[in-house]
Amino acid sequence: MKTNDEVLRELKNKIRRKSMAYKTEQNYMQWARRFAGFHSGARITDMGKQEIEEYLNHLVNERDVASSTHNQALSALVLMFRDVLGKDTSNMKLDYAKKSKSLPSVLSKREVKEIISAMPDGRAKRIVWVMYGTGMRVNEVLRLRITDLDFDNQSIYVRKAKGAKDRVVMMPKVLITMLRNQIGRAKEQHRKDLAIGEGKANLPKALKDKYPNADKEIGWQFLFPSDNLSQCPRKGTTHRHHLSSSTVNKAIKRAKWRCKIDKRVTAHTFRHSFATHTLENGCDIRTLQQLLGHKHLKTTMKYTHVLEPQKTASPADSLMSEVA
């Protein structure tokens, strides 16, 4: 009979074999440990539907978690029971929480310009420009490598985005000079790393095996490198990772305060704003779906709901003009 530590170790190996993101690995392992801790003293191998539902009820009733958090916890437990313990989770009839249909927070074009102008020149500001100019997610921008920029075709290649899919987005003309300058900064940092015996990019093993010296080539370095070298949590090797999303969000928050904008603004808000403004400019919904990398058209359709009220006149306006 497997111990709980053995089950958790197998879950981590399963997650890595499925090439799931490191952030997903962290979240899933955290939920599995919390589940085991909630049923303190019991073996995970002896548990089933009843124990899963007891834990999910605890999350909903006592922790008051959001539907997305509930669903993430359930996904982690389903992976553990189905793929590690070999149990038939389809017969357990476990219910995922219904997601709330909230509309995205969108900035006006004036607000976008004010926030970006209020940010000091630096990587965070350039990253926000790329998000608003292309509709990319913040982590997609952060994971860009120099080789992903195609200046001849004015395109940017987004590798292994959400759903492990690649896509191509436009490279705005207004950003070309800025991106070239950023490459120059990344090259200078890479030159310094090589001088101290570092400068190896963190590449997938298959690519590293095929091209042994590729990790030192400039094309595989991150476009927006971090200030410090760090250790890969999976391999234990030392690399210069990319800038963190928290750094970008903190810079946005400070700029928002300077502009006295009361809306909730995060890095993702600039993706929402790109989508809405692109529709305003006449882009068709299918093209926007491809640019955003949405699997389902209904996900993209939410941006049309943001625009609808703007196209409809309120009877209060006509009433006041008639009374006047």
Active site residues: 137, 162, 268, 271, 294, 303
Burial (CB count <10 Å: 0-12, 13-18, 19+), residue 123 = buried
What is the spatial distance between Cα 116 and Cα 139, in angstroms, rounded to a whole number?
A: 18
CA torsion 303→304→308→310, rounded to 10°? Answer: 50
CA torsion 168→171→176→181, rounded to 10°? Answer: -40
Q: Which two tokens stand for residue 206?
A: 């298959």
> What is each CA distance from 52 to 39, 63, 73, 109, 196, in whole angstroms?
10, 15, 10, 47, 51
Q: Which two tokens stand for residue 180?
A: 């070239």
Tokens 């939410």 belong to 302
Residues 142 and 23 sit within 8 Å (Cβ to Cβ): no
Q: Which residues pair with 170 in a beta bridge?
A: 155
Q: Which two tokens stand for residue 305?
A: 């709901």
DSSP label at 242? B
Other CB atoms within 10 A of residue 207 CB? 12
What is the spatial distance between Cα 17 and Cα 205, in angstroms, rounded to a whole number?
A: 12
* Nearest residue to 25 via CA among 35, 16, 33: 16
